[in-house]
Amino acid sequence: MLDEILDQVEAYLGGLTTLRELEFWVMDSFDAVMGMGDWDAMVLANDLDADLVEVKQGRLSEDALKDSLREKLSALRKA
């Protein structure tokens, strides 16, 4: 499941999908991710969901979201 999240985030960062499409994917997949028991996937999904809420509420810009996502992907690749 982690790979699927990473694919979605990379597609968004690469301009292949929109922020709205990423939001819909997270909403549709969140419960499934949480039920899989993959700790890294659950942490990333939870962080992504929280960041998307921050963007919707105007407390985080889309550029800041992208920076945050790039940092998270980089950290996961190093692990």
CATH number at residue 73: 1.20.120
Number of domains comprising the chain:
1
- For the chain, the residue count is 79
What distance in Å separates the CA atoms of residue 73 and residue 58, rounded to the nearest whole number? Answer: 23
The predicted model scores a pTM of 0.90
pLDDT of residue 18: 97
Please state, in angstroms and rounded to a whole number, the distance separating the CA atoms of residues 8 and 57.
Answer: 22
Mean of the per-residue pLDDT values for the chain?
94
pLDDT range class, residue 77, cuts 50, 70, 90: confident
Residues spanned by the domain of 48: 2-78
Task: Name the band, by pLDDT with cuts 50, 70 and 90, for residue 27.
Answer: very high
Is the predicted pLDDT of residue 79 greater than 80, yes or no? no
